[in-house]
Structure 1
Amino acid sequence: MTTTTPAVAAEPAAADQESRPAAARTLATRLDGLQRLVELGTGRIDAALLDETSALLTRAGERLRLSGEHTVVTLAGGTGSGKSSLFNAICGLDLSPVGVRRPMTSKAHACVWGLDGAGPLLDWLDVDKRHRYARASALEPEETGRPESGSLQGLVLLDLPDHDSIQAVHRAEVDKFVTVADLLVWVVDPQKYADAALHRNYIVPFARHAGVTLIVLNQIDRLQPEEVDDCVSDLRRLLEAEGLAAPRILTTSTVAPGGVDGMREVLVDSVAARRARTERLVADIDKLVVRFADHRAGGEPPSAIDERRAADLIEALTDAAGAPAVAEAMESAYELRAGDYVGWPIARIVARLRSDPLRKMRLTELREELRGAFTGPVGAQQGDVDNALHGITDAVTKDLPEAWARSVRAAGRSHAAELPEALGDSLKDALPAFNQVPRWWWLVKTWQYFLVLVTALSIAWIGLLIAYGVFKVSTNAPELIDEPGLIPYVGILLACVLGMGALTSSACRNVVALSSARHGEKMTFHMRERITEVTEQKVLHPVADELQVYAGFRNTADELLGHQP
């Protein structure tokens, strides 16, 4: 019987030895990149994709720790495809049951060429020990006429249950081994090679695994020689239409002489190259990386909120915290406090004789009252904060994938509930201490009270002049208080002192007004500084950090995509 086999050339052994370490390094790099994608994407992108990727990373780690000298090959197919007969033909022994009754294979059967290191691998594959067979001299026929036992050293060949079995446990068994096999061999027959269940459930989902997939058209002994090529061409057309690039198709027959030689040669080459394990994992990675690529945009991502929007946000939060009103109140308090030092004491005494509402407001204690007002979310209302944050991330998220745009927006509002209290604390810390009195205030106060003393002495002098000089209450009074003619001069002195006190107070108040304005500007600057720190800590930095995470995710995905063929 004529068979169709692909041209598979065995590479030189030296080339294999050089390429395997490089492939292993590339695989390790790609697995590390995939791990970074999972870490960066956790909580941000599709959880199902992350779970699937984590499962692959776990599976890859376990497989790489197990024997690299063995290649796991699965024979999978539908009912009646003859995969168990093909399994027995390759093994050279009747190890897997065959017959008319279906299904014949209910558990995976394994035949191993080379037992060293195969035990842990079979345990990991969860192959029942009752269905493990070693292809050693004790099991070989005395006269096989074939040297395949040596050439297949390192092969772990699995015969799986039917993928279209009515038993769900059989289908689950197929799904499990298809996920972990190094080389996938799908056995089809001329009558059902277009089976919808096979193509829908396995061929299409594993279309990117063409490099580790082999399609075997079995039972070609049922076809005429000219029908074989037509059947292979139609199968190839169907596979290519489903995305399996350059599919490898073999034809076999378990009843014709040499009908499985082509299949055996492919297995020999695969086992000798020892690349199937790495190629399978690479194919699994490629399949997932394409899905990760859907979560990254092509353009260069922004690194932070632009300066204009950041400045607008700081301004809005400054207004929300009431910083301008606080600065104005503190300016007024500064002026009032200065009045206690540089004001004309006599004018204050006169003012106290009247009802003064400002005095009742206890403005000298304003700082303590303001500090108490900013210990909670009283300084900035939550609604004002929310309005300030509205749309702050629109510019940086407009070109991001939706999942990442959502995570950046969430980062911008991650501390929204903390902002009112944090803004209140920032204002509280910016309030100045009123016990720090400028030295010139004390000098002016000393001067003013000296003038008050002179005023009091002048008034007393005038009184004594009137008593002793005008009314002559005593005839033995000193000349300074007994001469009525001194009254105008003392009056002039009193007027000068009063005028000097009022003039000093007025001049100092003008100076205080200028100092108060500078004081208010300085305090506004300090409050804005602290509000800027809060804004950066609670809004701008979280957004920048999230954008940096996205940039790392995008760069890692691009690197992994760059390794794909």
Structure 2
Amino acid sequence: MNQMTTTPTPAVTVEQSAGQADEPSELSLTARLDALQRLVDLGTGRIDPVLLSDASALLTRAGERLRLSGEHTVVTLAGGTGSGKSSLFNAVCGLNLSPTGMRRPMTSKAHACVWGLSGAGPLLDWLQVDKRHRYARAGALGPDDPQGEESGSLQGLVLIDLPDHDSIAEVHRAEVDRFVTVADLLVWVVDPQKYADAALHRNYIVPFARHADVTLVVLNQIDRLQPSEVDECVSDLRRLLEAEGLADPRIVTTSTVTEGGVDAFRRVLVETVAARRARAQRLVADIDRLAARFAEHYSAAEPPTMLDERRAAELVDALADAAGAPAVAEAMESAYELRAVDYVGWPIARMVSRLRSDPLRKMRLTELREELRGAFTGPVGAQQGDVDYALHGLTDEVTRELPPEWAHSVRAASRSRAAELPEALGEALKGALPVFNQVPRWWWLVKTWQYFLVLVTGATLLWILLLLLYGVLGVSDDPPGLIGDAGLIPYVTVLLACVLGMGALTSSACRNVVALSSARHGERMEAHMRERIAEVAEEKVLYPIADELRAYAGFRAEAERLLNASRK
């Protein structure tokens, strides 16, 4: 018989609400899938891309499988040549659906037998089972079918007979590998002679050792053994499986040529189908397998959340030096003193100094702010090499106990915006420069006082001149007493000296005050520039580092939660 669409007997209905039996597993599975998705999101661009690709593939496969029928359980029969898996498949189905024989290979395509057609079509399409090799069992074959009662208990089973895993045809091995990754229950059929086959154990048992809950090993053809040899063979097989990491392996014995030889295997299938948990258990096993691989990408040490204050302060100091903030503050301090001279200096002394060449006057202090602002644009504000030096070794302490790939990602985050720093530092210094048309109020008071003294000085000089003209030279016969009495000249001269002295003394005293004020002004300017530089450091360096450390902390928490769940 090459193909069978359905048997004549009516389908058997299992009265059970969808998902009822596997609800606890589904809830646990959902949480694991969410955790796995977060691990993929957090690990993208940071950890092993092969692992992330495998995890993404699992998430895609899980989403597809969960959208398909939950009433059907996919069970694959896999084994080597001559193990009798096709005979076992036919025995369970009650019909000769899959070709049997000893030649290599006998089964070249996957054959599927389905108990219960409703919802099975999309599932078989997803499994990529050729429609020519799909068979359906709607229930018992008839009143004389010896397996009719058990057959009806398998409602929801999708039993698949695979090609030989040790086939000489590569396409057959690829077919086995594909189904091994999607089956809800993996059934490995072995025979007494080749149950220790190295290819089976190396390629499938060991890699899928964490899938013990969804793995069943069938020791077939026990009719070839003496009764006393069966237990010995099972014990040796169990020892071998446990040594390869398959915890508490499930093993059943079968014989397709003896009466009741497959009853134990059929009971396992009935229990599996009835429980409706194999789908969730398989996906959980796949996730647990990945969880162990994710565990290699985080350390046991508690992850830091940010750079410590000392390192952050050192970074600001280094960036301030790179941007030349101390030099700018010193220049602004000098500019403050020079500008103060225009207000608190003795005007007569300034007029005298203008008769000499003074290079400081050529600085055009009224335009100093604009000139300084123009100096801090683009890379002129800070050289890229100085910025790179400031970032060197910044993350050494926080990455010391991180896994290599995460340490690399944190270091990369610290430099991710390094190219933006020179211009940003220049803008920060520009924004920190003061407005030169804002001067202290007391400067204006002193300037008013100084010009009053200048006015008095001028008036006194005029008085002395009039005394000389009228009191000494006698240019007038009857001058007023205040300008005609030559005896007043010494007193007026003393008054002139006092005024000049008061002006000079006021200028000297104010210069001392200005010197102290300029020092404080320079300190305030440097502190203000450092505040602006600290903001740049936070935005361009510290925040990216903190984001990366938070990503690692989240990754570590999710990976630990996933790994702890797999150990329970």
| TM surpasses 0.5 | yes
Aligned with residue 43 of structure 1, among 35, 45, 62: 45
Aligned with residue 234 of structure 2, among 229, 232, 235: 232
State the match for 2:146 in structure 1.
Answer: 145
State the match for 2:453 in structure 1.
Answer: 451
State the match for 1:114 in structure 2.
Answer: 116
Deviations 1:497-546 (A, max 9, x none): 11111111111112212221221222122112111211222222221221
State the match for 1:4 in structure 2.
Answer: none
Tell me how far 1:474 sits from its aligned partner.
4.1
Tell me how far 1:238 sits from its aligned partner.
1.6
What is the root-mean-square deviation of aligned Cα atoms in Å?
A: 1.9
Deviations 1:414-458 (A, max 9, x none): 222222222221111111111002222122212212221222222
Cα distance in 1 for partners of 2:513, 2:229 equals: 110
Deviations 1:314-349 (A, max 9, x none): 222222222111111111101110100111111011
Cα distance in 2 for partners of 1:81, 1:560 equals: 37
- Aligned partner of residue 186 in structure 2, secondary structure: strand
Tell me how far 1:480 sits from its aligned partner.
3.5
State the match for 1:25 in structure 2.
Answer: 27
Aligned with residue 314 of structure 2, among 306, 312, 315: 312
Tell me how far 1:479 sits from its aligned partner.
4.1
Tell me how far 1:478 sits from its aligned partner.
4.2
Question: Quick one: which amino acid aligns to residue 204 of structure 2?
Answer: Y
Question: Quick one: which amino acid aligns to residue 417 of structure 2?
Answer: H
Aligned with residue 293 of structure 1, among 292, 295, 318: 295
Tell me how far 1:19 sits from its aligned partner.
6.2
Q: Classify 1:562/1:19 alpha carbon distance in 2 versus 1 (closer, same or farther; 3 Å).
A: farther
Question: Quick one: which amino acid aligns to residue 314 of structure 1?
Answer: V
TM-score under structure 2 normalisation? Answer: 0.93
State the match for 2:7 in structure 1.
Answer: none
Task: Confirm whether residue 196 of structure 1 aligns to residue 202 of structure 2.
Answer: no
Cα distance in 2 for partners of 1:135, 1:247 equals: 30
Cα distance in 2 for partners of 1:166, 1:559 equals: 43
State the match for 2:432 in structure 1.
Answer: 430
Please say if residues 19 and 70 of structure 2, whose CA atoms lie closer than 8 Å, have aligned partners that are also in contact. no
Cα distance in 2 for partners of 1:408, 1:399 equals: 12
Tell me how far 1:276 sits from its aligned partner.
0.7
Matches within 5 A, 1:467-506: 467-475=469-477, 477-506=479-508
Question: Quick one: which amino acid aligns to residue 222 of structure 2?
Answer: I
State the match for 1:460 in structure 2.
Answer: 462
Query: Larger deviation: 205-214 or 422-431?
Result: 422-431
Please say if residues 210 and 288 of structure 2, whose CA atoms lie closer than 8 Å, have aligned partners that are also in contact. yes
Cα distance in 2 for partners of 1:526, 1:380 equals: 17
Question: Quick one: which amino acid aligns to residue 421 of structure 1?
Answer: E
Aligned with residue 209 of structure 1, among 205, 208, 211: 211
Cα distance in 2 for partners of 1:133, 1:19 equals: 27
State the match for 2:171 in structure 1.
Answer: 169
- Aligned partner of residue 316 in structure 2, secondary structure: helix
State the match for 1:75 in structure 2.
Answer: 77
State the match for 1:8 in structure 2.
Answer: none
Cα distance in 1 for partners of 2:23, 2:281 equals: 13
Question: Quick one: which amino acid aligns to residue 144 of structure 2?
Answer: E
- Aligned partner of residue 134 in structure 1, secondary structure: strand
Question: Quick one: which amino acid aligns to residue 328 of structure 2?
Answer: V
Please say if residues 67 and 118 of structure 1, whose CA atoms lie closer than 8 Å, have aligned partners that are also in contact. yes
Cα distance in 2 for partners of 1:499, 1:436 equals: 29
State the match for 2:126 in structure 1.
Answer: 124
Question: Quick one: which amino acid aligns to residue 39 of structure 1?
Answer: D
Cα distance in 2 for partners of 1:323, 1:452 equals: 40
Please say if residues 163 and 198 of structure 1, whose CA atoms lie closer than 8 Å, have aligned partners that are also in contact. yes
State the match for 1:530 in structure 2.
Answer: 532
Tell me how far 1:413 sits from its aligned partner.
1.8
State the match for 2:416 in structure 1.
Answer: 414
Cα distance in 1 for partners of 2:521, 2:202 equals: 77
Deviations 1:127-158 (A, max 9, x none): 11111111125x82552122122110110000
Q: Classify 1:156/1:141 alpha carbon distance in 2 versus 1 (closer, same or farther; 3 Å).
A: same
Question: Quick one: which amino acid aligns to residue 190 of structure 1?
Answer: P
Cα distance in 2 for partners of 1:318, 1:397 equals: 25
Cα distance in 2 for partners of 1:73, 1:128 equals: 17
Question: Quick one: which amino acid aligns to residue 54 of structure 1?
Answer: S
**Pairs aligned (count):** 551
Tell me how far 1:58 sits from its aligned partner.
0.9
- Aligned partner of residue 418 in structure 1, secondary structure: helix
Question: Quick one: which amino acid aligns to residue 253 of structure 1?
Answer: S
Tell me how far 1:298 sits from its aligned partner.
1.2
Question: Quick one: which amino acid aligns to residue 135 of structure 1?
Answer: R
Structure 1: 5+ residue runs without aligned partners?
1-12
Please say if residues 82 and 101 of structure 2, whose CA atoms lie closer than 8 Å, have aligned partners that are also in contact. no
- Aligned partner of residue 416 in structure 2, secondary structure: coil
- Aligned partner of residue 554 in structure 2, secondary structure: helix
Cα distance in 1 for partners of 2:142, 2:76 equals: 24
Query: Larger deviation: 265-274 or 16-25?
Result: 16-25
Cα distance in 2 for partners of 1:46, 1:17 equals: 36
Tell me how far 1:289 sits from its aligned partner.
0.4
Please say if residues 333 and 364 of structure 1, whose CA atoms lie closer than 8 Å, have aligned partners that are also in contact. no
Tell me how far 1:124 sits from its aligned partner.
1.1
Tell me how far 1:367 sits from its aligned partner.
1.8
Deviations 1:186-233 (A, max 9, x none): 111222222211111111110110111111111222222222222222
Query: Larger deviation: 47-56 or 521-530?
Result: 521-530
State the match for 1:323 in structure 2.
Answer: 325
Cα distance in 2 for partners of 1:355, 1:144 equals: 124
Tell me how far 1:467 sits from its aligned partner.
2.7
Aligned with residue 271 of structure 1, among 264, 270, 273: 273
TM-score under structure 1 normalisation? Answer: 0.94
Please say if residues 81 and 102 of structure 2, whose CA atoms lie closer than 8 Å, have aligned partners that are also in contact. no
State the match for 2:186 in structure 1.
Answer: 184
Cα distance in 1 for partners of 2:141, 2:168 equals: 35
Deviations 1:445-494 (A, max 9, x none): 12212221222222223223223332334446544433322222221222
Cα distance in 2 for partners of 1:299, 1:511 equals: 57
Task: Confirm whether residue 57 of structure 1 aligns to residue 59 of structure 2.
Answer: yes
Tell me how far 1:162 sits from its aligned partner.
1.2
Tell me how far 1:18 sits from its aligned partner.
7.2
Cα distance in 1 for partners of 2:159, 2:197 equals: 24
Tell me how far 1:383 sits from its aligned partner.
2.0
